[in-house]
């Protein structure tokens, strides 16, 4: 497995309403991430980028009779909120372009790099594939930005 993108921290941070001491008997633990939410300037531009550049699938769904959009990959998804028209409840400080998203692929990183170069995507880190350490250990990464400026690694 090749790590396509790297993130310096977790995708989700859980902040409890009160601080737990080490002696607290926590009644649960987190197993995995179901979805994350991206607040975006343009739903269509975001769908275009993530489906054509990262191979995700666009899904429409309905919540409270409102049409919504998501991007699915593996067993995860990214829900899309249009900036200024977010669904409740939402994060307290939503802003397009403030995320660092890290993804994994089964394809060689050189293939991803070549595909992005051919598509004219600006590759960060001086256009190079770089060595990093992620949640699964040592990996090779390539970086770019999505239409809102989110770091994709």
Asked whether residue 75 is assigned to any structural domain, the reply reads yes
Q: How far is CA 45 from CA 27, 53, 61, 122, in A?
A: 42, 12, 18, 16
Consecutive H or E run containing 68: strand 66-73
pTM for this entry: 0.79
Q: What confidence score (pLDDT) does residue 110 get?
A: 96
pLDDT tens, residue by residue, 58-77:
999 999 889 999 999 999 99
Q: What confidence score (pLDDT) does residue 8 get?
A: 43
Q: What confidence score (pLDDT) does residue 18 get?
A: 55
Q: What confidence score (pLDDT) does residue 19 get?
A: 54
| Three-state DSSP state, 26 | coil
Closest CA to 130 of 112, 147, 148: 112
- Domain at 87, CATH number: 3.10.180.10
Q: What confidence score (pLDDT) does residue 24 get?
A: 65
Number of domains into which the chain is organized: 1
Asked whether residue 11 is assigned to any structural domain, the reply reads no
Asked whether residue 15 is assigned to any structural domain, the reply reads no
Asked whether residue 13 is assigned to any structural domain, the reply reads no
Domain that holds residue 112: 2-6+33-152
Q: What confidence score (pLDDT) does residue 21 get?
A: 54
Q: Which residues of the chain have pLDDT under 70?
A: 1-24
| Three-state DSSP state, 135 | coil
Asked whether residue 137 is assigned to any structural domain, the reply reads yes
Asked whether residue 19 is assigned to any structural domain, the reply reads no
| Three-state DSSP state, 20 | coil
Yes or no: say if 46 and 38 are a contact pair by the CB < 8 Å rule. yes
Q: What confidence score (pLDDT) does residue 26 get?
A: 79
Asked whether residue 28 is assigned to any structural domain, the reply reads no
Q: What confidence score (pLDDT) does residue 2 get?
A: 45
Strands (E), the chain: 2-3, 35-40, 57-63, 66-73, 76-82, 100-101, 104-105, 130-134, 137-141, 144-145, 151-152
Asked whether residue 20 is assigned to any structural domain, the reply reads no
């Amino acid at each position: 497995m090749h790590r396509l993108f790297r993130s310096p921290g977790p995708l989700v941070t859980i902040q409890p309403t009160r601080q737990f001491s080490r002696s607290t008997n926590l009644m649960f633990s987190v197993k995995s991430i179901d979805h994350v939410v991206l607040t975006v300037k343009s739903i269509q531009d975001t769908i275009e980028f993530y489906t054509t550049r990262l191979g995700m699938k666009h899904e429409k769904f309905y919540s409270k009779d409102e049409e919504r959009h998501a991007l699915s990959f593996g067993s995860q998804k990214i829900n899309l909120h249009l900036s200024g028209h977010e669904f409740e409840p939402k994060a307290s400080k939503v802003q397009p372009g403030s995320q660092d998203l890290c993804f994994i692929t089964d394809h060689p990183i050189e293939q991803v790099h070549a595909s992005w170069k051919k598509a004219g995507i600006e590759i960060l880190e001086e256009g190079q594939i770089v060595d990093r350490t992620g949640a699964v250990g040592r990996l090779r990464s390539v970086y770019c930005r999505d239409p809102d400026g989110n770091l994709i690694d």
